């Protein structure tokens, strides 16, 4: 009670002071909030200005790609009337970008590849920004295993060739800005923005034996990537290409719908493309293959259309125990003479044994690891080799006669003889 019995004048003075204090605090809080808002707006404007600058300067280096492929149509009634099944023209769209003043365009193999997955589409057309007319392009080099291709336009004006500088994907940090350019759903010259979500995601990219993708390192981004963005550049805030947009994870496809961005897109690191670029430029329209060490798989399974190489995980545990083989690994069937594998001392099988559904070579080496990663099939070995250059080495874990050993294989010119 005594605390509430304050003289009137003091109470009024106290109230006045309290109100003034509250008002002052309110003004300070409002001022702080206003400053924070201004700072936030300033930061947004800075980011927007950077995006506008990058897009304005480098979007002219983006290329819209369209393809035409004549494919056979299946008419189930044609045989009844003595006709044939006929053909139809299948079309596709994608993206690419100029990498030099000569007009070379990097893109994905699956953008310009034909329906069979062997070679290029019958016709490739490209169109540059602010030009209505498309011009034909020829293939300089194809690299299906890398899902990369190099094409060059014919009859394009030199002033329309605007190369985009290539960056360094090895220096990327998670959280960096990422700008994706391309033609999602055929909407040419579109731009989206996000961040680098991961710098070392391992996913199947490209087309290996049997059409399977080869596991490679990829950049993950949340910048919206959709069908048609394939082959387009992923840029950093400096306008440098850090990756080539190639794939998305899309729940729509898994449920039978159309693929579309779910915030998880992947790009081939630009350093992988830079390493491959000289070989693509020298391919003379041919195919550039990933390096090989000169071995053939020694475990094959019978499948529709013939035999396919498989890893030891395809066999039962009891079968592997009987054959004295490890649980997983790549069985070496043959070693090519004068190859990196033969110079490293790898050995192929000395005999073969048939089993229901396949055949296995015995008496040779089994590769169980490469550069610290497990190997259970030819695709796993290719994944360890795919970014290698001449003179590089690959460290193999090998089992021979039940004993493990380390083998270092050096990639010489013969590893790249298939271009």
Mention every residue, 6+ apart, whose C-beta is less than 8 A from residue 263. Answer: 194, 222, 224
Secondary structure element (H or E) that encloses residue 219, with its range: strand 214-221
The beta strand positions in 74-213, using DSSP E, are: 87-98, 105-107, 123-128, 135-143, 148-153, 177-182, 190-205
230 is catalytic: yes
DSSP state of 155: S
Considering Cα of 399, then 401, then 407, then 413, what sign does the dihedral take?
Answer: negative
Catalytic option among 66, 95, 104, 110: 110
For CA atoms 142, 147, 152, 158, the dihedral sign is: negative
How many Å apart are CA 128 and CA 156, to the nearest integer? 9
Which one of the listed residues 104, 147, 376, 380 is annotated catalytic?
147
222 is catalytic: no
SS3 per-residue string spanning 350-365 = CEEEEECCEEEEECCE
Element (H, E) at 382: helix 378-385
Q: Estimate to the nearest angstrom the gap between the alpha carbon of 343 and the chain centroid.
A: 32
Task: Note if 122 is an active site residue.
Answer: no
- Integer-rounded Cα Rg, in Å, for the chain is 30
User: How far apart (Å, rounded) are the C-alpha atoms in residues 198 and 172?
Assistant: 9
How many other CB atoms sit within 10 Å of the CB of residue 88?
Answer: 10
Token pair recorded at residue 271: 């350093």
Of these residues, 95, 169, 190, 230, which one is catalytic? 230
Beta-carbon contacts of 150 under 8 Å, excluding residues fewer than 6 positions away, are 104, 105, 106, 107, 139, 140, 141, 142, 277, 280, 281, 283
Catalytic residue set: 110, 147, 230
């Amino acid at each position: 009670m005594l605390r509430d019995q304050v003289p009137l004048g003091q109470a009024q003075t106290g109230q006045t002071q309290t109100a003034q204090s509250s008002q002052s605090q309110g003004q300070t809080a409002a001022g702080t909030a206003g400053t924070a808002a201004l700072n936030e707006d300033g930061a947004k404007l800075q980011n927007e200005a950077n995006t506008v600058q990058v897009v304005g300067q480098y979007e002219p280096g983006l290329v819209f790609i369209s393809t035409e492929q004549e494919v056979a149509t299946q008419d189930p009634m044609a045989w009844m009337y003595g006709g044939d099944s006929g053909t139809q023209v299948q079309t596709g769209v994608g993206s690419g970008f100029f990498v030099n003043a000569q007009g070379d365009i990097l893109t994905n193999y699956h953008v310009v590849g034909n329906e069979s997955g062997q070679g290029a589409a019958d016709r490739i057309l490209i169109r540059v920004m602010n030009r209505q007319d498309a011009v034909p392009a020829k293939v300089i080099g194809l690299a299906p295993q890398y899902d990369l291709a190099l094409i060059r336009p014919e009859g394009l004006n030199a002033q329309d060739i605007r190369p985009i500088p290539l960056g360094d994907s090895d220096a990327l940090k998670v959280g960096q800005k990422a700008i994706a350019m391309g033609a999602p759903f055929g909407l040419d010259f579109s731009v989206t923005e996000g961040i680098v979500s991961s710098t070392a995601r391992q996913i199947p990219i490209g087309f290996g034996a049997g059409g399977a993708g080869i596991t490679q390192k990829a950049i993950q981004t949340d910048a919206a990537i959709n069908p048609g963005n394939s082959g387009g550049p992923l840029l950093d805030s400096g306008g440098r290409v850090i990756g080539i947009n190639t794939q998305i994870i899309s729940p729509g496809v898994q449920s039978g719908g159309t693929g579309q961005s779910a915030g998880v897109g992947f790009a081939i690191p630009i350093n992988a493309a830079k390493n491959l670029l000289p070989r693509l430029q020298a391919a003379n329209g041919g195919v550039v293959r990933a390096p090989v060490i000169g071995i053939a798989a020694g475990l094959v399974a019978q499948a529709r259309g013939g035999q396919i190489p498989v890893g030891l995980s395809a066999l039962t545990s009891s079968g592997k125990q009987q054959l004295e083989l490890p649980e997983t690994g790549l069985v070496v069937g043959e070693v090519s003479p004068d190859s990196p594998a033969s110079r490293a001392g790898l050995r192929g099988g000395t005999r073969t044994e048939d089993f229901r559904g396949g055949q296995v070579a015995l008496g040779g080496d089994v590769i169980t690891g490469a550069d610290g990663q497990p190997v259970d099939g030819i695709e796993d070995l290719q994944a360890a080799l795919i970014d290698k250059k001449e003179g590089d080495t690959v460290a193999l874990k090998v089992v021979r006669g039940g004993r493990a050993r380390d083998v270092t294989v050096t990639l010489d010119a013969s590893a790249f003889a298939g271009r």
